[in-house]
Structure 1
Amino acid sequence: MMPRPSWQQEGQDPDYRFTLANERTFLAWIRTALALLAGGVLLHQFAVGLEPRVVLVIVAVGLGLVSTALSVVAYTRWRANEIAMRHGRPLPYGWALPVLTATSLLTAAVLTVVLIVS
C-alpha cells in the first residue's frame, strides 16, 4: 500500500460522499481527455481524404497536447478540491473550463472550414 501524501493528513477528512463525488469529477475530466486524444488519432489516421492535410495534422497534434494538459489539470483540480474540503474552504476557481470550451470551439471552426473547402 502506498503511503498517503502529506496533504491528505492535513485538516479533517471530508464526508466520503464529497470525496467520491470529487473522484467521479476527476474521472469525467480523464474521460474527456481520452475522447480528445481519440479524436486526434481519428483525424490523423482516418481523415485521409480531407485537405489541406497539414491543417488536419496540426489539429490532431493540438488535440493530443490538449488531452495531455487536461490530464494534468484533472489531477491538480482533484487535489486542490480535496485540500479545500479538508480545510473547510470554498472550492477553487477552475480556469480549465473556459480554455476547454475555447479549444472545442476553435477545433470545430477549423474542421468546419476544412470540410467546406474539401
Structure 2
Amino acid sequence: MRKPTWQTQGEDPDYRFTLANERTFLAWIRTALALLAGGVLLFEFAQAIGPRFVVLILAVGLAVVAAVLGGLSYVRWKANEVAMRTGRPLPHSVMIPLLSGIALLAAAAIAALILISGFSG
C-alpha cells in the first residue's frame, strides 16, 4: 500500500510518540462509540422519561456528535503526526472544550427530563 504524501514529509518521529498518538486517537474513537451507545440506549430504553420528542432529539444529537467526533479524531491524529514529523508544535484543538460543553448540556437536559418525569408521574 502506498504511503500518503503527508507521511513522507519530514522525518519519522520516535515510534513511542507515534504509538502514543495512536492511543489518543483510539481513546477519541472509544468516546465517540460511548456517545453513540448512549444515544441508542436513550432512544430505546428511556420510555419512562419524556416528552418523547425531546428524548429523540437528544438521542439523535448524541449520534451526530459521535459521528463528528469520529471524523475529527482522525483529523487531530493526522495533524499531530504531521507536526511531529516536521518538528512543529502540536496544533491546538477545540475538541476538548467542545466535547465538555456538549456533555454538560446533554447531562443537564437528561437530568431535567428525569426530574420533570418524576414530578409529573
Matches within 5 A, 1:6-45: 6-45=5-44
Whichever residue aligns with residue 37 of structure 1, its letter is: L
Q: Which residue of structure 1 aligns with residue 45 of structure 2?
A: 46
Q: After TM superposition, where is structure 1 displaced by more than 2 Å over at least 4 residues in a row?
A: none
Find the aligned partners of 1:4 and 1:31 in 2 and give their Cα distance: 26
1:110 aligns with 2:118: no
Measure, in 1, the Cα distance between the counterparts of 2:31 and 2:38: 10
- AA aligned to 2:104 is L
What are the equivalent positions in structure 2 for 1:81-96 lying under 5 Å apart? 81-96=80-95
CA distance in 1, matches of 2:60, 2:78: 28
Paired residue for 1:3?
2
Unaligned runs of 5+ in 2: none
- Offset, 1:51: 1.2
Distance, in Å, in 1 between the alignment partners of 2:89 and 2:42 is 40
Deviation at 1:80, TM superposition (A): 0.0
2: CA distance, partners of 1:106 / 1:67 = 15
Gaps of 5+ in 1: none
RMSD between aligned residues: 0.5
Alpha-carbon separation, structure 1, partners of 2:55 and 2:99:
19
CA distance in 2, matches of 1:114, 1:48: 11
Size of the aligned set, in residue pairs, is 117
% of aligned pairs identical?
59
Aligned to 2:77: 78
User: In the TM superposition, what is the alpha-carbon distance from 1:50 to its structure 2 partner?
Assistant: 1.0
Q: Secondary structure of the equivalent of 1:11?
A: coil
Counterpart residue identity of residue 2, structure 2? P
> Shift of residue 44 of structure 1?
0.4
C-alpha distance in 2 between matches for 1:16 and 1:117 = 52
**TM-score when normalising by structure 2:** 0.96
